[in-house]
Amino acid sequence: MGVNDPSAAILSRFLALHPKKIDLSLGRTQDLLARLGHPELRLPPVIHVAGTNGKGSTIAFMRGILEAAGKLVHVYTSPHLVRFHERIRIGQQGGGRFVTEEALATAFAECERANAGAPITVFEITTAAALKLFSENPADYLLLEVGLGGRYDATNVIDRPAAAVITPVSFDHPEFLGATVTKIAGEKAGIIKRDCPVIVGYQSDEAFAVIEREAQRQHAPMLVAGQDFATREERGRLVYEDENGLLDLPLPKLLGRHQIQNVAAAIATLRTVVPDLPASAYEQGVTRASWPARLQRLARGRLFDIAPDGAELWLDGGHNEAGGLVLAAAMGDFEERAPRPLAMICGTLATKDTAAFLRPFKGLVAAMYSVPIAGEHAARTAQDVTEAARTVGLDAEPCEGVLDALKKIAAREWSIPPRILIAGSLYLAGEVLATNGTLPD
């Protein structure tokens, strides 16, 4: 969102309303929605998605499949990468589009008037504005992503979703969700509602035990990855299987072994909520689905032009331990299929465990370059990232920024053109996309 966008000034005013003490609560959002006439009660069927990793990709697969079937699909995700209005997608024939800046500014202004200066967070008032916009535009489904946790997240004002989805739970945001996977899973399981189906992605035993207990308490029917449904790659195809039979599908456009798991959760959810979708929708949807900054290859743009001739340039927003594991596995798979030296450019936030994210890359990375994240006060310095990298055995070099890092990579002697991975934060990913000129659409 640029400084001249209509909603930018309103957003800056929202910051002044932020509660002095951080407390996750539904009360502020519920009060505002009541003043707005309860738009949360006038929504299409909602599929509510929580989890630590894979939420956005799972939603992208569901959107692709539903839109391939001709359905109108609203989508709410966060954070945005470049422009704030990327968080809100309004369902339209031929595929949804990001809400216009003018429509978002109007919704923000109405929420600001209704809130009347009461304490509220930016995410809470943004969620209220999104629900208002969704209630005013007809659609067949709303795919609603949790912002933080689940139980007290502003999106959890939906009393009866068509389904809840919990993607893999791992360690993240301990300052808000708790210092153990068990506690974090308890917060994620807070989106489970009485008698509403819950689709559970692949989980650790400790996370699954918590989710299962909450589902039983709520009498919510469970479909569990690895038990009730599964996917596998077979001879260059994706095979999905559940009690209703097999689907033989193309491999997804989104790369990485972890995306096979995300596809599984997406298909299981839709076969529960919309059982009459044709097989052709699944075939088209898994290949159409896109999700920026998730193993995204940059094949043009300003940054691509700076990279060494013949180099591959990849971008991923992974930032926690689980994200590091799946991203390193993907780089290992790339190396096995087409060997190249791997150069990594990494910038992280101070709220993240940088060493835990980087540890899986030991032995994979030939050269690492640490960068700050422009405009983010919570970002680690390049020196901090470098020191974290060195603690896990990576030889890192601090740089002024991504441009500086790419210039250093280009100046280095390589036996063959390198594979370059930029990762460590969604905020860094947004900076990269904006600098490169490849904006999400």
Residue 384 C-beta-side C-alpha neighbours within 13 Å? 14
**Which one-letter DSSP state was computed for residue 224?**
E
Fold of 8-288: UDP-N-acetylmuramoyl-L-alanine:D-glutamate ligase (3.40.1190)
What tokens appear for 318 in the block? 């992974």
- What confidence category does residue 329 fall into, taking pLDDT thresholds of 50, 70 and 90? very high
Domain 296-436 sits in CATH at: 3.90.190.20
Ranges of beta strands (E only) in 116-162 are 141-145
Does residue 19 have a pLDDT over 70?
Answer: no
End-to-end CA distance of the chain: 14
- What confidence category does residue 177 fall into, taking pLDDT thresholds of 50, 70 and 90? low
The pLDDT score that the predictor gives to residue 319 is 83
CA distance 69 to 95: 11
Least confident of 26-35, 286-295, 411-420: 286-295
The pLDDT score that the predictor gives to residue 2 is 43
Least confident of 3-7, 77-81, 145-149, 379-383: 3-7
Q: Which amino acid is located at 69 in the chain? A: A
The pLDDT score that the predictor gives to residue 253 is 86
Backbone angles phi, psi at 238, to 5 degrees: -105, 120
Backbone angles phi, psi at 74, to 5 degrees: -85, 150
The pLDDT score that the predictor gives to residue 134 is 98
pLDDT mean across residues, the chain: 92
- What confidence category does residue 274 fall into, taking pLDDT thresholds of 50, 70 and 90? very high
Mean pLDDT on 380-385: 96
Asked, as a colleague might, if the bond just before 221 is cis with ω within 30 of 0, I would say: no
pLDDT digits (tens, 9 = 90+) for 289-325: 988 888 999 999 999 999 999 999 999 998 888 889 9
CA distance 178 to 149: 10
**Which one-letter DSSP state was computed for residue 84?**
G
Does residue 7 have a pLDDT over 70?
Answer: no
The pLDDT score that the predictor gives to residue 6 is 57
pLDDT digits (tens, 9 = 90+) for 220-252: 999 999 999 999 999 899 999 999 999 999 999
The enclosing H or E element of 9 equals helix 8-15
**Which one-letter DSSP state was computed for residue 349?**
B
Write down the residue that tokens 């190396």 correspond to. 335
Mean pLDDT on 194-216: 97
- What confidence category does residue 171 fall into, taking pLDDT thresholds of 50, 70 and 90? low
Asked, as a colleague might, if the bond just before 79 is cis with ω within 30 of 0, I would say: yes
Least confident of 165-174, 219-228, 405-414, 427-436: 165-174
Can you give the residue ranges of every domain in the chain? 8-288, 296-436
Mean pLDDT on 25-35: 95
Mean pLDDT on 279-286: 96
The pLDDT score that the predictor gives to residue 96 is 85
- What confidence category does residue 3 fall into, taking pLDDT thresholds of 50, 70 and 90? very low
Mean pLDDT on 198-221: 97
